[in-house]
Structure formats: structure tokens, C-alpha cells
Amino acid sequence: MAFSKVLFTLLVFSGYWVRSHRRMVPAQRSAQANLSGAKDAFKVRLSLKTALGDKAYTWNENEEYLFKAMVAFSIRTFSSREKIEISNVLLCNVTKRVSFWFVVTDPSENQTVPAGEVQGAIRMNRNRINNAFILNDQTLEFLEIPATLGPPTEPSTPIWVIIFSVVFCLVIVGIVLLIVSGIRQRRRKSKASTEMTDVEDKCETMVTIENGIPCDTLDSKEGRTNRAFAAGDEKLTPL
Amino acid sequence: MQAPREGTAACSPLGQGAGAWKEKELPRAAFPLAYLHCLLAPVKEANEQAKLQVEGGFLIPYIIMLVVEGMPLLYLELAVGQRMRQGSIGAWNTISPYLRGVGIASVVVSFFLSMYYNVINAWAFWYLFHSFQDPLPWSSCPLNSNLTSYDEECEKASSTQYFWYRKTLNISPSIEENGGIQWEQALCLILAWLVVYLCILRGTESTGKVVYVTASLPYCVLIIYLVRGLTLHGAINGLAYMFTPKIEQLANPQTWINAATQIFFSLGLGFGSLIAFASYNEPSNNCQKHAIIVSLINSSTSIFASIVTFSIYGFKATFNYENCINKVILLLTNTFDLEDGFLTPGNLEETKDYLASAYPTEYSKIFPDIKNCSLESELDTAVQGTGLSFIVYTEAIKNMEVSQLWSVLYFVMLLMLGIGSMLGNTAAILTPLTDSNTISSRLPKEAISGLVCLISCAIGLVFTMEAGNYWFDIFNDYAATLSLLLIVLVETIAICYVYGLKRFENDLQVMTGCKPNWYWKIIWAFVSPLLIIGLFIFYLTDYILKGTLQYQAWDATQGQLVTRDYPNYALAVIGLLVASSTMCIPLVALGTFIMNRWKKGKTVSV
């Protein structure tokens, strides 16, 4: 039992040593390691230059160590497999891109952690993994692990309703003010004109006569049409 | 069918209202500012012009049509107004009582315009209120239901298109499916009408003051935008595109027809506004000089606004082009596991060729996804209709820094222009009502204005339904176009043949002291009528050839516009719109004829 454990560990370490040396070989599309087709393996892709520009760090063994630590941490917290160590996370096929495949093995069960668990663990801790590398969901991609996009924060009342209500109230107030002042103006005018006519009535005791016709029988507002000049309606042009 | 430019309404009905106003009511100082609104018509129209420009080297036909069509017709209308010293209905009545229908047709067109035009203001309010959010709501797509990726419709179209078609309009797939009234849009429409009511409440005295603001503010914003636009990355591309003439497009008659229609509507011919303005001039005023100056100012404002529009357009096109290139680079980098940052726009082409030859199988697999990004095609993408103002500009604005500020500025400018137009529109409808003693003796001024606003608002709610934008397009395309063409044609023929060109010429000489030279006379008598008849024939043949009228419907599943045919009842509405304004002219002529015969019969019998 112990011997098989040691053998297994030796195999894993040797495999890791082989794979770390394979990293020196430039990216070869045809040379896929044993992991790429494995059912519980995931491909990871980083775009350091796109994300960080001049401040981009180089991807080396230490960064890989950090990555393995983050994955191990995620698996531990998600599925409470207490025995997962950094050495249980295997990376391979690191390219210049930078991209690589990884898989998590469980030493107690002697097999790889199922893909669903790994997916769930990564999704749960995606934010922390991103922050560890100063990247985001687009520049640190886990292919086939969909990111949970954060919905934008919505205040309880939409902002536009607030502004709309403010403008609406202002306009209503303006309309009411104008209507009220208009009514008041009209009342004042009609009061003034009735006062004026009262005064006029008191003064005019005699009837003004013009051309033998009393003035007040003439409808001074509308005027009279003089038929002699009605040569044609075409000349007068109402608007 | 070319839609009347949005901004043309700024000029024409305002003047129509001015013409109907009594002299003592209209403050003199408001005049030049009111006409400033006419000059601002090109601002909005520049948006449409951008679309037309992308159909090919626009400046040359535009300038030629301005000289051949715009200036002479403008001179004609100004001269008529100055000579007759009355508004449009009165002026045509003086020339011949049978032509009173021309003025009435203008009022009917104004009524249609006021019904549908305020919806644009409602949309501007909606966008303005949404501009106070960070980030702007149209800058990113909303998430789908299980929060794994973006909404499907938004992915296929762009986020600005999605915001316009889904969030603002909530548009239905075709005009037959009416849907319900969108309460958000209805609220904005009611607010827009309340603002208009606030401004016209007291009549022309208050309108005159409002015009000061609504006419000068857009110019300020335009200058700010000019500075900002010219400093944007990629603006040069847009400007270069605008100023390079496309020789092959000049041979296309469609370009010339578009230019003719554009000039026509941008100067506001046919609404009666110019006659009204000119009627306030001194008889000895040199209206020839006025006409030339006004049309030159009009076109320079137009070109000024186009420069702003095209610099922003160029920015948007460059941005999209660079995005497209970056997407291709990402695709290639991911497929071939190249080093990040290795592919640049500079070495993209040669790397593509190398990869195609070195790894043919994988390259052919991803080949359909590799789009050929071209700056030209980005600049060529035309957007239809009123969407141009809202989609293209918001797309450009969302990529600027401090986008909330630019957005607020832009929509405030749009609102000022729109409210200014509406003021003129409603004034044109109200003045005949308040003048007639029967109505004004029973109801106070405020009540009449309120009633008109209420009725127009109620009808306008149709445009807030899900299919409302399709009905809006019907009104936009057909309510004013043909009628205005007919009105101007009748005007030209009336002056030249009914009133008499010689008589008109003599009147002008008596008034201003100078005779119009042979250029003007030839154009008035022959060229302009022929040109307008040509435009008519073109539109009719276009309709007959196509067989039926079509419209652009938004297909949510594809995320783009598709062309559909109008159903029969929509065609009936179109016919009614066109007929109700054009039929005014012959019907009123017939009516006057019958009245005269009846009167003559009465006097004879007596």
C-alpha cells in the first residue's frame, strides 16, 4: 500500500519534471500532451500584454506556483477535500501565448477531481484568482468555464424617474403660475374697464349726436359696412 | 422617398406662425432669432445629410442645387411676401382668390407635423434623463437570465441599437403587431407637450422670449462639439471622407435628386414662413441681397454642422475599425497560440498569409470568422431615419471621455431645436383659431392652447405603442414631402403665369428699385417648375416600379433591419395624409368658384 503510494508520487513528480522541461520547447500545435484530451482537464489562457501593457510580468515557474496554489485553494474551499496539495495540480503544455492545460488529482482517491467540481470551485473563487494575477475575466480565460458576469448595480428607483419627476413638477408649477397670473390680469382689466364705464356713464348725461344719429345706437365695435365701397370681397384679404 | 429633414420644421412652421401673427403682437427683436431657427434647421438636417453623404460625394450636387433651386425659390417667396405685405393665406388670396387653398394646405401640413414631431422631443427627454447614469445605459449590453453572458439580441446588434430598439421603443417586429402603449414613452411625450404648452401659454409674447434661448443655445453647443469633434482620434478620416467627391456617384441621378430635396426642405420653402417674414420688411428692402445672404448662411451652417457630424462619424468608424482589427488579432492569437502581443495591426496581413500557407487546415476552419475590416465600409454604413440621431451619436458619445457630459449637452441641444420647432408649429395652428372671433370669444387663450396640445398629445400616443415607430416613419416620410413640392410648384406657376412675370418684375422694380435679372426670370419661369415636376415624376415612377411601398422593420432574432411591405390599411393612411393637404388647393379653388357663381347668380336675380 505504502509502496504504491510512493510509486505513484514518484510517477507524478517525474511526469511534472518531464512536463516542466517540455515548456522549453517552443509551441507545437501537433504535440498535445496526455492532458489535452483528458476529460477533467481545462485549458487556461492568459493575455498579459493586453491587460497590463508595459507592466506585464513574465510568466515563469513562480507564477505557475501561484496558479497551482490558487487552484488548490479553490478546490479545498469548495469541496472540502482537505488533502489537496499544490503538487496535486498538474500543468502542462505551456505555450508562449501564454496558455496551458491543468488537471487536479486527488491522492486519496488516486484519480482526477471531476470536471464539475473543478468548474464549480473556479467559478466560486474566480474573483480572487483574477485579483491574484491582476487580470480580469477576459484576460485570464478558463475555457469551458463560463464566468458569472456581475450585473450592474441598480438603485431601487431608477435615476431617470427621479429626474423626470423633478422636471415634471417644475413644468406643472410654471404652467399653474402662468395660468393664475393670466386669470388675475384679466380680472384686473375687466374691473378697471367696468370702473371706467361707470365713470363715463355718470359724466355723459347728454347724448352725443353725429349726423343726426345718436352715437350710442351705432355699434362702434363692429363698425358699419358702407355698401358704396363694397366693390368686391377680393380686395380685402382676411388672414 | 426622402423624409423631410427633421430640422426643416424648425424654420418653416415658426415662420408660418409668424406670418399669421398680427404685427403688433410680434416683438421685432424676436424676428432675427426666429429666423435663426431656420438657419438651425441644417443642424438636424446635417444628420440626415451625413447619411446622404455616405451615398456619395455630396458637396458638389448640394452646392449646384443650392444655386439653381434654393436661391431663386427663396428670392421668389421673399419677394412675394414683401410685395403683398401679408401672411401666406392673405398673400395668395391677393394674387388670386382661387389660390387661397395654398395657404390652407400649409396650415394642414403644419398640423400633421405638430402631431408627430413632438415624439422626437419625447425621445430626446428619455435619453437626456438616462444620461445622468454612470456608466451610460447604452454603453454595455444587459446580461441574460442565467447571468453567463449578454442578452442575445444585444449581442447580434450593438448595445446602442439594443437600447434604441428594445429599451426605448420596445419595437414590434412589424407594423401589424400593435402592442400596447409604453408608459415610459407616454410619460415623456406628455412632459414634452407640457413644456410646449408652458411656452405657448401666453401667446406670442412668451414665445418670443423662449426663442431667444432655443435659438442661441444650439449654436453654443455646436461650437463646443466642433472643438471636441475635431480633437477626437479618427476624426480626420471622417472629414476626408466628407470632402472627397466620388466621381461615379455624381453620374447617379439619385444623388442629384437627394440634393434637390435636401435644399428644398432645408430652406423651408412652401410652409409660408418666408412669405410671412418678408411681409414685415420695408418695401424698399433689397430682397435679392437678402435671399442670397440667407441661403449662403443656411448652407454654411449646414456645412458647419456636417463637419461636426462627420468628425464624430469618423471617430466612430475608426473606433469600430480598430475593434474589428483587434478581434481578428485575438482570434488568430488564440487559434494558433501565438505569443500575446506578437500580432499588431502592422504585421497582420503578412502573418495571415504566412499562417494560411503554413497551417492550411486550421486556417480554413477559422477563415469564415475572419472579417475583412475596412475603414471605408465602416464609414459607408448608413443608418435609416431618425435612428441616425440617436444611434450614431450615442455610439460615438459612449466612447468619449466624460461621456455623461457630452451626452447631456447633445440631448439638450436636440431638445432646444425640437422645442423651438414645436413652438412654431403650434403657433401656426393656434393663430387662426385665436383670430377667429367665434372661438376666441367663448374660450380664453390658455384654454384654446390647452385644447390643441391635449388633442395632439392624445393622437401622439399612437406613436408610443410598440409599432409606433413605424407609424412615425409613415408620417415623417409622407406627411410633408409631396404636399410641399406641390405647394411650391403652384406658387411658382402662380407668380409666373397667373400674376404675370412682367407684372411681378415691375412691382419689384417699383419697390426695390432694381429689376431681377434674366437669371432669376429664367429659373422662375422654366427651370424650377421643370425641376419640381421632375422630382414628382421621379417619386411616382419610383413608387410604380417598386409596386408597393416598403418600410424597414427591426427583426429581434437577427438583430438588424429587414424590409417589409406596408399592409393595405397603412397604404390607405399614407394616401389620406398626402391627399388631405394636396387636395386643399383644388378643393378651395373649386369652392371659391362655386361661391362666386352662386353670388353672381344672387346679384343677377336681385
- How many domains would you assign to chain A? 1
Tens-digit pLDDT profile for residues B173-216: 888 888 888 999 999 999 999 999 998 887 666 766 777 788 78
Interface test with A, best of B21, B83, B129, B205 (most A CBs within 10 A): B129
Which 8-state DSSP code applies to residue B494?
I
Which three cell numbers mark B566?
406596408
Query: Which chain A residue shows the shortest CA-CA distance from B187?
Result: A164
> What per-residue confidence (pLDDT) applies to B237?
87
* Residues β-bridged to residue A141: A45
Mean pLDDT for B144-164 is 81
Residue A57 near chain B (CB below 8 Å): no
Cβ separation A163–B129 shorter than 8 A: yes
Q: What percent of chain B has pLDDT over 70?
A: 87
For B268, residues 6+ apart whose C-beta sits below 8 A from its C-beta are B8, B11, B12, B15, B38, B41, B274
Query: B16 lies in a domain?
Result: no
> What per-residue confidence (pLDDT) applies to A173?
95
The yes-or-no verdict on residue B27 having pLDDT over 60 is no
Query: A74 lies in a domain?
Result: yes
- For the whole model, what pTM was predicted? 0.77
CA distance B209 to B474: 34
Cβ separation A178–B201 shorter than 8 A: yes
Tens-digit pLDDT profile for residues B309-352: 888 888 888 888 888 888 888 888 888 877 777 788 888 888 88
For A13, residues 6+ apart whose C-beta sits below 8 A from its C-beta are A87
A-facing residues of B in 354-393 (CB < 8 A) are 359, 362
Count Cβ neighbours within 10 Å for each residue of B537-546 and write b for 16 or more, e otherwise: ebbeeeeeee
Query: A201 lies in a domain?
Result: no
CA distance A104 to B454: 71
In the block, residue with C-alpha cell 423626470: A164
CATH number (domain holding residue B315): 1.10.4160
Which three cell numbers mark B152?
442575445
**Residue A4, CB half-sphere, CA atoms under 13 Å: how many?**
5
Contacts A167 to B, Cβ<8 Å: 125, 129, 191
Q: Which of A45, A172, A178 sits opposite B334 (nearest CB)?
A: A45
Query: B423 lies in a domain?
Result: yes
Lowest mean pLDDT among A12-21, B164-173, B291-300, B546-555: A12-21
Contacts A232 to B, Cβ<8 Å: none
CA–CA distances in Å: residue B495 to residues B85, B88, B89: 15, 13, 15
The yes-or-no verdict on residue A74 having pLDDT over 60 is yes
B213 is in which domain, residue-wise?
A: 30-605
The yes-or-no verdict on residue B50 having pLDDT over 50 is no
Q: What is the distance in angstroms between the Cα of B248 and the nearest Cα belonging to chain A?
A: 42
Report CA B462 to chain centroid distance, whole Å.
20
In the block, residue with C-alpha cell 393612411: B573
For every residue of B193-207, DSSP letters joined together read HHHHHHHHTTTHHHH
Mean pLDDT for B78-97 is 81
CA distance B598 to B550: 46
Q: What is the distance in angstroms between the Cα of A226 and the nearest Cα belonging to chain B?
A: 17
Query: A45 lies in a domain?
Result: yes
Lowest mean pLDDT among A92-106, B6-20, B471-485, B521-535: B6-20
Query: B4 lies in a domain?
Result: no
ipTM of predicted complex: 0.77
Query: A77 lies in a domain?
Result: yes
Q: Is B145 annotated as a binding residue?
A: no
Q: Which of A147, A163, A175 sits opposite B132 (nearest CB)?
A: A163
Residue A50 near chain B (CB below 8 Å): yes
A-facing residues of B in 166-205 (CB < 8 A) are 187-188, 191, 194-195, 197-198, 201-202
Pair B505, B521: CB distance under 8 Å: yes
A116 is in which domain, residue-wise?
A: 24-142
- How many domains would you assign to chain B? 1
pLDDT band at A118 (very low <50, low <70, confident <90, very high): confident
Query: B399 lies in a domain?
Result: yes
Query: B220 lies in a domain?
Result: yes
Query: B13 lies in a domain?
Result: no
Phi and psi at A99, nearest 5°, equal: -145, 150
For every residue of chain A, DSSP letters joined together read -HHHHHHHHHHHHHHHHHHHHHTTSPP-SS---TTTT-TT-EEEEE-HHHHHGGGPPP--HHHHHHHHHHHHHHHHHHH--TT--GGGEEEE---SSSEEEEEEEETTTTEEPPHHHHHHHHHHTHHHHHHHTT--TTTEEETT----PPPPP--SS-HHHHHHHHHHHHHHHHHHHHHHHHHHHHHHHHHHHHHHHHHHHHH--S--EETTEEGGGS-TTT----GGG---TTTS---
The yes-or-no verdict on residue B19 having pLDDT over 50 is no
CA distance A136 to A147: 10
Query: A203 lies in a domain?
Result: no
**Residue B412, CB half-sphere, CA atoms under 13 Å: how many?**
18
Phi and psi at B79, nearest 5°, equal: -65, -40
Query: A164 lies in a domain?
Result: no
Which three cell numbers mark A165?
419627476
Q: Is B140 annotated as a binding residue?
A: no
Closest CA to B152 of B142, B140, B139: B142
Tens-digit pLDDT profile for residues A208-232: 666 666 666 655 556 666 767 655 5
Query: A216 lies in a domain?
Result: no
